Structure 1
């Protein structure tokens, strides 16, 4: 990298890369392909968010001495089966 990131520097880098003999052209994506990639990104973020939430709940309950198995499905099943224990152990606002 020769300079800071600017449009001119980006254009110069693209031009330089295009001059390389082994540079292969990449086909432009269709709208359908871009839409499908967008759906995959959204789904991936939803999965990550769900995992973060389950881990956060497991961590918060662990602070009150309630320990649960690892894994989203197994933890969710234990949350449901141990709900009365959870309600008796943690403060009502939580």
Structure 2
């Protein structure tokens, strides 16, 4: 589906209906700009919300990676202790 820009939409609307005054054109342009501003504000809010969620997920991932590395280290130390004990026998 092809989307129309505000100006294209305005052009099509003006082509199908007769606009008699400059104020009408300016009013439609202002409406189009206001709609785009509202869309941009909503998108910005959504982007900010998603960034906050991403920051939380990244933080949780980093914590889990630290825990995995800690467990690997403990496992390696336990293995080395086992080898040391076997060599002492």
TM-score computed with the length of structure 2 as normaliser: 0.41
More helix by share: 2
Larger radius of gyration: 2
TM-score computed with the length of structure 1 as normaliser: 0.39
Query: Which structure is higher in RCO with an 8 Å CA cutoff and minimum separation 6?
Result: 2
